[in-house]
Amino acid sequence: MRSSTHVWRKGRVHDVVFFPKSYHLYDRVGKPRVVHDDSRRVPRIPAIVELCIQAGVDLEKHPTKRRTKPVYSIEGRIVDFEQAKENDENECNLHDENLGPLTVTDLETKSDDARNFIVDKETDQLEESHEGATDLRDISIGTMESWFKMISGAKKIMEKYGVLTCGYCPEVQVGPKGHKVRMCKATKHQYRDGLHAWQEATIDDLVVPNYVWHVRDSNGLPLDNNLKRYYGKAPAVVELCVQAGAPVPDQYRSMMRLDVVPPDRDEVDLVA
């Protein structure tokens, strides 16, 4: 019997921050909902990656359909608006013929060289930044800044692109509609035939912060269960960066209860 105590092991990155997965939508306008029969064929990727893809990021492994022309909605079906512009097509054909194969090849080569130069330059900058940030405190500060930058950016994208979550379980779906995959195993799922109860998601549903107890001294005594009302909490990534030397963020000062002095074990009965 463990008496409700934890069995501790060494944590991993997934224990510090959790990114729930979402079904990838190839066509978020024409087919915004994944049905149960397609659940095995549609890939699942981290929801925050799917949100960035729908917002405009292009990834070779996860292609998506982009539209530059308006669409029709006929009896609930989305039909692409195809407007033939013969003049533009003729001009494009004439332009390609005038360029010739050598010129087109030269342009593609120059474009590839420029793209490779930009990628190499960005890679060199990243390597220099990692080499310069040898101090653990500098790394923790940079990690904290990247964390808040990701959170603030995701909030802005969520204002325009919909993200839904189940009201019973932590399932998340990025898109205008929730999927119809019967995979919910939460309370009374048999009455819903395993379907999710979709509602609007928050940033904590998209990037799940694993809250942990704030430890003032990592080399001190372990936290006492009888004193837990005097301890504060914070997301695990914030607590990890703070213990590595990063300053405590202002938005988590009250949550971490830095202004509270926990009493000793023999002083608990004397505290009001």
Q: What is the pLDDT of residues 117-128, one digit of tens each?
A: 444 555 555 455
Looking at residue 161, its pLDDT comes to 94
pLDDT for 182 equals 94
- Residue 129 has a pLDDT of 53
Q: What is the pLDDT of residue 237?
A: 94
The DSSP output letter for 190 is G
The sign one gets for the Cα dihedral 174, 178, 183, 188 is positive
Residue segments in the chain with a per-residue pLDDT below the cut of 70 = 1, 81-134, 265-272
SS3 at position 16: helix
Distance CA 161, CA 153 (A): 12
Closest CA to 178 of 41, 53, 54, 28: 28
- In this prediction the pTM is 0.74
- Spatial strand order of the sheet with 163-166 comes to 172-174, 163-166, 198-200
Residue 259: the pLDDT is 78
Residue from 211, 201, 236 nearest 20 by CA: 201
Sign of the four-CA dihedral 50, 52, 58, 64: positive
pLDDT for residue 258: 82
